[in-house]
Chain A
Amino acid sequence: MTDTKRNDVILLLVVAFFALFAPIILNPFPSDGPLAQFNAGYPDLMQRFVIYGIFAIGFNILFGLTGYLSFGHAAFLGVGSYSAVWMFKLLSMNIIPAIVLGVLISGLFALVIGFISLRRSGIYFSILTLAFAQMSYNLAYSVFTPITNGETGLQILLSDPRILDAPTGTAQPVTSLFGLEMRDTFLAFEYLGRDFQFTYGYYVCAIILLISFYISMRIFRSPFGTMLRAVKTNQNRLSYTGVNTRPYTLTAFVISGMYAGLAGALLACMDPLAGAERMQWTASGEVVLMTILGGAGTLLGPVLGAGFIKYFENILSRINDNVLEAWFAFMPDGMSDFFVVIVHPFVGKGWHLTLGLMFMAVVIFLPGGLMDGAKRIIDWVSGKNRASKRGAKAPAPAE
């Protein structure tokens, strides 16, 4: 037990280190060099890493622990965003009420949907959650436009009432935490040709991520977490022993819905816009993929998965032929053209192709997701593998 505790502290410290120094760690390449494309250390993307990380952590509390695969979690993300933006429109540009309301409303929403959906298990549960999320999406896009502003998405306008800090002047209001503006860069410096930017927004997200991660860790280690694992292992046996599992699964569902709402509210805090497509099934599918890709049921996996998908989405899609030509410019003419032609289908507008191939590669070669890969690397480095080569077993599949 103490061993687990020590490991958890180390894990938390590692996550804290990476979260706090991300603006530096994610900028390894000089900003005018050919590899600058691969830098991810700019505020918007780092915020997305962290926010989707929170989303995936929450999803993992449900899926990783209980095995219930929700295919409608994006609905809670969307509800969180809408609530937060409404808070900005009606009350104040301070992010605290927005986050609180986002978490509460999505928690309530999750309670209702969870209460109904959890009457079924397995695939029937998945389809129920999917159906609820798709209904939310379709209605938000069309009939609920007065509340959601439909296709355009809910935005902050100069004409909003905002009871606490009524608009002054004609400048677009910005989200803030007691005066610290989220988009404000408090420190920016250039060092060895690398540009580093530190914004308040990112650090707010990072700190919330650490808290979320810590809570999730506590849940994993608590008796409640053990009970959830028991549900996953054999729900029937648990029922036969007289345990009513519904309250446990429902609690897990609501908690993970609140995580999603928190992520949604944070998205709105960093960038005050809430669009309906945040609730589409593809968005629900994305968090499923993030969690599985990273390693379902592991603490850190979902965060890695979220980072992986968001990184490829934002970096690969922006590599165009000009960039490719710059990369291969050092080669002789014919050869550089050849390489441009070879790489071209996988980047820019073909970024989905690479992502699809990555999914397949990860699941084929790393049965436990990215965490499995990380574990293998650590084992290999620390030499554990050599010692236990014979007895080595594939990690237990996370279902």
Chain B
Amino acid sequence: MSGFSMNRRGVLKSGAVLGAGLAMPTIFTSAARAYTNEPTGANVTLGFNVPQSGAYADEGADELRAYELAVEHLNGEGDGGMLNTFSSKELGGNGVNGKKVAFVTGDTQTKSDAARASAQSMIQKDGAVMITGGSSSGVAIAVQGLCQEAGVIFMAGLTHSNDTTGKDKKANGFRHFFNTEMSGAALGPILESNYGKERTAYHLTADYTWGWSQEGSMKTYTESIGWNTAAAVRTPLGAGDFSQYLTPVLNSGADTLILNHYGRDMVNSLTQAVQFGMRDKVVNGNDFVVVVPLYSRLMAQGAGDNVKGIFGSTNWHWSLQDEGSKAFVKSFGTKYGFPPSQAAHTCYCQTLLYADAAQRAGTFNPCGIVEALEGFEFDGLGNGPTLYRAEDHQCFKPVLVVKGKDNPTSQYDLLEVVDVTPTEQVMYAPDHPDFAGGDLGECNPGA
């Protein structure tokens, strides 16, 4: 401060300039808004929270593409995609509730902490009224809990664990994707008709909550068709080389290997199982077979030729021929040059469903949205008639059973749909024991 002196006149002058330039601060109290982040301007902001680094980065990138496409369609750009086939006609391509849809993005890193930090910044800094995305159940459940506390809506992306709409369900959270229970229910009859009733299954299970959930469902449904379970072995997540878990399978007397793995674990365990010559073996007079309960086309690419002829289930596949799917594939394919993944599809649908609910409710208030989505029945989004069940905020729709294609025509054409399991068959009661223990609570509008 030594070389910096100022006389009284100078102080007054600069004070006046300052005073003219500065307005009084506007102080908000928490009562000023009816709900968290009530949009006041011409835009409404959605938060797209997807994995951009880590093992699911490619899946996250595909989700992000779908979100951008959905925002375009909501704002009336592009060809409208599934807005044209959606059974609810409330959305007119002019934004939602008269507001233009804007979005912010973030990186979940497939870690609960990072995902919550990213979601927090969307809520606290960018004023997002809805958070969506994610590619694993741990992250989905963590972010869902956060959204419940903060008073915004969470529209889950790819999350397959029962818990998301089971024991960790929340009033502000909604899931369009299917779950392990539905996978099991859909696969059971197909496995029976293809492989018979006399089989012995050996499970390799990723040692974390989703894996256990998947293992439990597969056990229930394979045992109900008369199969035996030789063993269910837990493998560490990200084991890389699964040889030490695969060799015991060979001499266990099992003739079916069920890989309750996803992502890289699935790619590696499947590739290595094939290398061990498992699919050429004959055990108990049966051809040895491998089953992958949850398929993802993106991951199937990583396993290459090894997926041929292997059964699994998926939420959606681009080769479906209904109007909704065709419109979505066309719109996505034209913009990006390749077909969308199931993760992209579920994320696109979730965005549309949210927007439609907000439009029908006439507000972005989470409680209004919850009311509009609970028990909502719709069609035209690629899966056939679908119900958003009020009791647990889970979508109920037909489940696809797919098989690795023997003669793929392109690098995307890896799976063929062998069966569309009707909704009734995959429906379960809200108090099903695998889903018990949770409580939706009540919708939280924040503020």
Residue of A nearest to B123 (CB): A44
Given the contacts A142-B236, A170-B442, A44 and B107 also touching, CB distance less than 8 Å: no
Select one of B25, B116, B209 contacting A152, CB under 8 A. Answer: B209
B118 touches A155 (CB 8 A): no
A111-166 residues with Cβ-Cβ distance < 8 A to B are 138, 141-143, 145, 149-153, 155, 157-159
User: A174 and B149: CB pair below 8 A?
Assistant: yes
Instruction: Check: B90 CB closer than 8 A to any chain A CB.
Output: no
Q: A188-B27, A275-B112 are known contacts. Are A318 and B121 too (CB-CB below 8 A)?
A: yes
Known: A145-B209, A151-B138, A191-B25. 10 other contacts (CB 8 A): A43-B120, A142-B208, A145-B208, A150-B138, A151-B137, A172-B170, A183-B150, A189-B28, A273-B116, A349-B61
Are A142 and B234 interface neighbours, CB within 8 A?
yes
CB of B7 within 8 Å of the partner chain: no
B425: A residues at CB distance < 8 A: none
Inter-subunit contact B209/A351 (CB<8 Å): no
State the CA gap A174–B148 with chains docked (Å): 11
Q: Determine if B124 and A43 form an interchain contact, defined as CB atoms under 8 angstroms apart.
A: yes
Contacts of A257 in B (CB 8 A): none
**Pairs A–B under 8 Å by Cβ, sample size 27:** A42-B124, A45-B125, A138-B236, A149-B209, A151-B208, A152-B163, A153-B112, A153-B141, A155-B142, A157-B439, A171-B441, A174-B149, A184-B30, A187-B27, A188-B29, A189-B25, A189-B28, A191-B26, A192-B23, A271-B120, A271-B146, A275-B111, A314-B118, A317-B106, A318-B118, A318-B121, A322-B103
Q: Is the CB of B112 within 8 A of A277?
A: yes
Determine whether A352 belongs to the interface, using a CB cutoff of 8 Å to chain B: yes
Cβ of B117 within 8 Å of any chain A Cβ, yes or no, is: yes
Cβ 8 A contact of B105, one of A192, A277, A320: A320
B142→A153 contact, CB < 8 A: yes
A44 and B138 contact, Cβ closer than 8 Å, known pairs A150-B208, A152-B168, A275-B112: no
Q: Does B53 contact A (CB under 8 A)?
A: yes
* Contacting residues of chain A (298-323) with chain B, CB-CB under 8 angstroms: 313-314, 317-318, 320, 322
Assess the B105–A318 pair: CB atoms within 8 A: yes
A55 to chain B, nearest CB (A): 13
By beta carbon, the residue of chain B nearest A145 is B209
Do A192 and B28 touch across chains, with their CB atoms under 8 A apart? no
A222 contacts the other chain (Cβ, under 8 Å)? no
Nearest residue (CB) in A for B164 is A152
B444 at the interface (CB under 8 A from A): yes
Within 48-90 of B, Cβ neighbours of A (below 8 Å) are at 52-53, 57, 60-61
Query: In whole Å, how far is A31's beta carbon from the nearest beta carbon of chain B?
Result: 8
CB distance from A323 to the nearest CB of B (A): 8
A349→B57 contact, CB < 8 A: yes
Interface residues of B in 89-132 (CB under 8 A from A): 103-107, 111-114, 116-118, 120-121, 124-125
Interface residues of A (CB under 8 A from B): 39, 42-45, 48, 138, 141-143, 145, 149-153, 155, 157-159, 169-172, 174, 183-185, 187-192, 197, 267, 271, 273, 275, 277-278, 313-314, 317-318, 320, 322, 348-349, 351-352
CB-based nearest A residue for B143: A273
Contact call B26/A273, Cβ cutoff below 8 A? no
* Proximity bits, B153-177, A CB within 8 Å = 1, else 0: 0000000010100001010000000
Query: Which A residues are CB-close (under 8 A) to B120?
Result: 42-45, 271
Given known contacts A42-B125, A275-B113, A317-B118, A152 and B137 CB-to-CB distance under 8 angstroms: yes
Quote the shortest CB–CB distance from A155 to chain B (angstroms): 5
**Judging by beta carbons under 8 Å apart, are A172 and B149 in contact?**
yes
Inter-chain contacts of B146 with A (CB < 8 A): 271, 273
CB contacts (< 8 Å) of B30 on chain A: these are 184-185, 188
Complex Cα gap A184–B150 (Å):
10
How far is A111 from B23 in the complex, measured between Cα atoms in Å? Answer: 56
Answer whether residue B422 sits at the interface, using C-beta atoms and an 8 A cutoff: no
- Say whether, besides A159-B437, A172-B149, A275 and B142 are in contact (CB < 8 Å): yes
Query: Which residues from A are CB-within-8-Å of B112?
Result: 152-153, 273, 275, 277
By a CB distance below 8 angstroms, the chain B residues around A192 are 22-23
Asked whether B207 is an interface residue with its Cβ less than 8 Å from the other chain, the reply is yes
CB pair A44–B121 under 8 Å, yes or no, is yes
Contact B104 A318 (CB under 8 A): yes
With a CB–CB cut-off of 8 A, which chain A residues contact B23?
191-192
Minimum C-beta distance from A291 to chain B (A): 19
Q: In chain A, what residue has the closest Cβ to B116?
A: A271
**What's the Cα separation between A169 and B442 when bound, in Å?**
9
Q: Is the CB of A189 within 8 A of B104?
A: no
A349 touches B53 (CB 8 A): yes
For residue B237, CB closer than 8 A to chain A, the reply is yes
- Complex: A365 Cα to B137 Cα, angstroms: 42
| B210 CB within 8 Å of chain A | yes
Q: Are A141 and B237 in contact (CB under 8 A)?
A: yes
B113/A277 in contact, CB under 8 A: yes
Give min CB distance, A69 to chain B, whole Å.
24
- Quick check: is B145 within 8 A (CB to CB) of the other chain? yes
Complex contacts, B60 vs chain A, CB 8 Å: 349
Other-chain residue from A158, A171, A187, A318 in contact with B444 (beta carbon distance below 8 A): A171
- Chain A residues with CB below 8 A from B168, complex form: 152, 155
Q: A42-B124, A158-B441 are in contact. Are A153 and B117 (CB under 8 A)?
A: no
Among candidates B117, B210, B237, B438, residue contacting A44 with C-beta atoms closer than 8 Å: B117
Nearest-CB residue, chain A, relative to B235: A142
Tell me which residues from 310 to 360 in chain B have a Cβ below 8 Å from any Cβ of chain A.
Answer: none
Q: From A81, which residue of chain B is reached at the shortest CB distance?
A: B113
User: Contact between B138 and A273 (Cβ–Cβ < 8 Å)?
Assistant: no
B426 nearest CB across to chain A (Å):
23
Asked if A314 and B138 make an inter-chain contact with CB atoms under 8 angstroms apart, the answer reads no
